[in-house]
Structure 1
Amino acid sequence: MQKISEHQIRASLIDASLRERKSLSLPKHFGELDWENLDFLGWRDEKLPLVGT
C-alpha cells in the first residue's frame, strides 16, 4: 500500500462535513504504520465507536 498523509485521508472523506473531517481521530500509531505491509487501512474512531472508517 502507498503511504498516505493525514491531510489526504481527511480530504478523501467527501461525504463528511468540514467539522467531521477535522474531528476525526486517526489510528493511535498512525505515524508508525508499516505501509509496505498493509493491504488496507481501517479503524474505529474512539469518539464514534459504532462508525467504521
Structure 2
Amino acid sequence: MRTAATRCATAFWDGAGIPLLLACALGAVAVAAVGALPLVGRRIDPELIRRD
C-alpha cells in the first residue's frame, strides 16, 4: 500500500480496484466505438450543420 500526502490528510491507495477500473474504461470505449459505427462512411454535409 502506497501513501500520498495531501494538504488535509494522508490518502491510502489500494490497487485492488484497478482491474475493475480498467474493465469499466474498456467497456466505455467499446460502447463509444459501437455507437460510432453508423457514422462510418457517411458524408456529412457541412451546409446542413451551419447556423448563420
TM range (shorter): under 0.3
- In proportion to residue count, which structure has more helix? 2
- TM score, norm. by length of structure 2: 0.24
